[in-house]
Amino acid sequence: MNAGWIRVGQGFDIHRFSDDPTRVLVLGGSVFDGERGLEGHSDADVISHACSDALLGAAGLGDIGMHFPDTDQRWKGADSLTLLRHVMSLVGQQRWSVANIDCAVVCERPKLAPRRDEMQATLTQIVGAPVTIKGNRAERLGAIGRDEGIACFATALLVHDDAADARDGTAGDRDHDADDPDDHDADDHAEAPPAVDARQETP
C-alpha cells in the first residue's frame, strides 16, 4: 500500500474543573453524576475533543480550535458528540476512513474503568471504527496531579478510500496472471491524495 494512503493524527485537550455547581462532567459522551464539571465553551468533553483534534490533524484539516472557536456563540454549551459528528463529515468529504482512535486520559478523578465500555461504545458508534480509552493518573505531579482538571491525548489512524479502490481494481488482474513479473499492484503506482488546505471557514 502506498504510504500516502495512511495518515496519523495526534489530538490533545485539557480543561480545568469548574467552580460552577451547575456544570456537569461529560467524558466520552457519558455524564458522570456527582462529579465536578469542567470549564469550557461547550460541554468540555475532553475525550471527544481530543478525538476530534486527532481526526482533523490526520486529515490535514487544522485543529478543533480553528473549527469551533470559543468566540463563536454557536458552540456555546454544545454537545461535543455533535462536534465529533461534524468532524467525521469533514474527514469523509476528503475520502478518509477511520481505522481506529486510541485515547489516553490523565486525571485523578473520576474513575474511568466502570464507564469505559460505555464511553468506548458511544465514540465507536460515531466514528465507525474502534475507539479505545485508557485511564492514567498523574501521580500527584503538576496541575492534573493536584486534581485541578483533566487532560486527554488521542491518536487517530486514517486510511484513504482510494487505497481500497486500488486493491479492488487490481484483484482480478493478479488472479488472472499471478506469474507475470510486470503485473504489479496498482497501489505501487497510485498517487497519494493531495494535501488539503486547512484554512477554511468555520462551520
Answer yes or no: is pLDDT of 172 > 60.
no
pLDDT tens per residue, range 82-98: 999 999 999 999 999 99
Tell me the CA distances in angstroms from 193 to 5, 21, 96, 103, 160, one per residue in order.
7, 48, 10, 27, 8
The percentage of the chain sitting over the pLDDT mark of 90, rounded to a whole number, equals 69
- Residue 122's Cβ-side half-sphere holds a number of Cα atoms within 13 Å equal to 20
Tell me the CA distances in angstroms from 153 to 162, 181, 194, 203, one per residue in order.
28, 45, 27, 24
Q: Which residue has the cell 460541554?
A: 43
3-state helix, strand, coil in the chain (%, to 5): 35, 25, 40
CB-CB contact of 55 with 88 (8 Å): yes
Q: Can you give the pTM of this predicted structure?
A: 0.80
